[in-house]
Amino acid sequence: MLNSKIVTEIDIQALAPALSPTQHKYQAGAVTAWTGSAGMMGAASLSCEAALRSGAGYVRWLYAQDEAPLSTCNLPVEVVHQGFRHTNRKEMLPIWTSGASCLMGCGLGRTAAVEAGLREWVPQLQVPLVLDGDGLFFFAKAPFVLPTGTIFTPHLGELARLLQKPHLTQNQVESILPEAMAFAQQHRICLVLKGCPTYILDPTTTTAFRCDGGSPGMATAGTGDVLAGLLAGLLAQGISPIHAAISGVFLHQRAGEYAAREKTPRCMIASDLLAQFPSAFRSTGW
């Protein structure tokens, strides 16, 4: 039986990664991200900026040169770009092992090339991974080996697909939590079930952590990409998947609350959360 705990500001205050005056950018946390595709470059921009704004010192963005031309890219200038071709994926393996965390899936699309890349790269990762969006779609289709420290970030529709359910509604969430925990235990992942509330399940504990914050305005395209990048950035700074998930979700919701105050829930968009990261972090002592 699962225990339930509501996450509070006090719970995350002590989880902030340590800062050293002598650290360099790689020690601050390096993220390798494969996100975005032609027509979905916002996912790359939002997730990579969120990783940087989390405190990570370095973000390298990988893109398929024949799918996401740089002319469509609007990433922060601080993000390092690394192009590749699917015919030469093996050459990119050293890149995937050079960072402290990886992020895959946001806006990648569902092409055969993307699926092949995920199935080739993910089993060989040696650092924690955040798998989101289209990465979850292909995992649900046929699971692949995951690295230690993986976080899944499904919304209800994606969770239904992962659990092989035809449909799930918000009213069914609490009743499905034991099955979701069994899934997390089976695959040894931390599961962040996005919604209102958001639940965090991790096989290292029998507790379902519940985050009740946020705003209705967060139901807008791109907020999940912001969360995925934030989580990858926190993992890169060396905190555990469950602590990254608890604190990341809380900070993400707090940023959404602040954005709603400034823009109103109707008018806010996902990038407004990024503008509120400093206030959200400051409010929790981070």
Q: Could you give the number of structural domains in the chain?
A: 1
d(CA 114, CA 111): 5
In a domain, 247, yes or no: yes
d(CA 91, CA 121): 11
pLDDT of residue 262: 98
pLDDT of residue 55: 96
pLDDT at 26 over 90: no
Position 72 confidence tier, pLDDT thresholds 50, 70, 90: low
pLDDT at 22 over 70: yes
In a domain, 218, yes or no: yes
- CA dihedral sign of residues 26, 251, 202, 51: negative
- Mean pLDDT in the chain? 94
- CATH number of the domain to which 97 belongs: 3.40.1190.20
pLDDT of residue 188: 97
In a domain, 12, yes or no: no
pLDDT of residue 198: 97
Mean pLDDT (whole number) for 210-231: 97
The DSSP annotation for 114-170 comes to HHHHHHHHGGG--S-EEE-THHHHHHHHS-----TT-EE---HHHHHHHTT-S---G
pLDDT of residue 211: 97
173 or 54, which is more confident:
54
In a domain, 17, yes or no: no
The residue range of the domain holding 162 is 3-7+24-283
Q: Give every CB contact of residue 195 below 8 A, 6+ residues apart in sequence.
A: 155, 156, 170, 173
Position 111 confidence tier, pLDDT thresholds 50, 70, 90: very high
pLDDT at 61 over 80: yes
pLDDT of residue 27: 84
In a domain, 86, yes or no: yes
Mean pLDDT (whole number) for 208-231: 97
pLDDT of residue 90: 87
In a domain, 134, yes or no: yes
Task: State the pTM of this model.
Answer: 0.96
Mean pLDDT (whole number) for 25-31: 91
d(CA 72, CA 78): 17
In a domain, 34, yes or no: yes
Classify residue 83 by its DSSP letter: E
In a domain, 124, yes or no: yes
Phi, psi of 228 (to 5 degrees): -60, -45
